[in-house]
Amino acid sequence: MKRCGYLWMQSLIAGSQQEMRAALSTLDQGLPKNPHVKILPKSNGWISLSPLEAQPEPLSLTMLKAALGTQWPMTSLLDMLKETDFRVGFTGTFKSPTAWETMERAALQPRLLLCLYGLGTNAGLKRMNAEEHGASYKDLLYVRRRFITKDHMRDAIRRVV
């Protein structure tokens, strides 16, 4: 019985290796002909990729946006993030790495939301109009560096989900 399992595993591995060899061969043959890829002489061959044309938006995403627009017209993503925090309280997971926090939670929460929105939408912290919310770019940068970590993000995502 053990021998049968071993033979099955060996054939599975051999099949996977063959698929990988075929894929690498296709890549090796197609890479020099690909107009979007260049191998640069810098540091033993850096790979340079030219930007591709934007793909059309998936139909499901268009339908989702339309459904959200009819359900909640004129509601921004930032408002949804704020409402989610109001209901779930996920900003409570973002704590200072030190034993004390000098910033009041009432001031920290909107800054956290602006940081998370700027990072999540890929707009960045500089693009967030924090001045109208009583915070500067430096304030957001401080919150980003001090409070937002990978573990805190994972905990916040768990809480939202």
User: Which residues is 37 bridged to in the sheet?
Assistant: 49
- Whole-model pTM: value is 0.56
Exposure string for 81-117, b = 16+ CB within 10 A, e = fewer: bbeebeeeebbebbeeeeeeeeeeeeebbbbbbbbbb
Q: Is residue 25 part of a domain?
A: no
Mean pLDDT within 91-112? 87
Can you give the pLDDT at residue 1? Answer: 53
Confidence label for 89 from pLDDT (cuts 50, 70 and 90): very high
Determine the Cα–Cα distance for residues 130 and 136; give it in Å rounded to an integer: 6
Residue 152 pLDDT > 90, yes or no?
Answer: yes
Q: Is residue 88 part of a domain?
A: yes
Q: Is residue 109 part of a domain?
A: yes
Determine the Cα–Cα distance for residues 45 and 32; give it in Å rounded to an integer: 13
When divided into structural domains, the chain yields a total of 1
At position 63, the amino acid (one-letter code) is M
| Domain enclosing residue 148, as ranges | 75-160
Coil/strand/helix, residue 129: coil
Q: Is residue 82 part of a domain?
A: yes
Per residue in 108-144, pLDDT (tens digit) is 999 999 999 888 888 888 877 666 667 888 889 999 9
User: Mean pLDDT score of the chain, rounded to an integer?
Assistant: 85
Range of weakest confidence among 2-6, 59-63, 96-100, 138-142: 2-6
Per residue in 5-18, pLDDT (tens digit) is 678 788 889 999 99
Coil/strand/helix, residue 27: helix
Q: Is residue 92 part of a domain?
A: yes
Q: Is residue 7 part of a domain?
A: no
Percent with pLDDT over 90 in the chain: 34
Q: Is residue 63 part of a domain?
A: no
Determine the Cα–Cα distance for residues 104 and 6; give it in Å rounded to an integer: 62
Q: Is residue 97 part of a domain?
A: yes
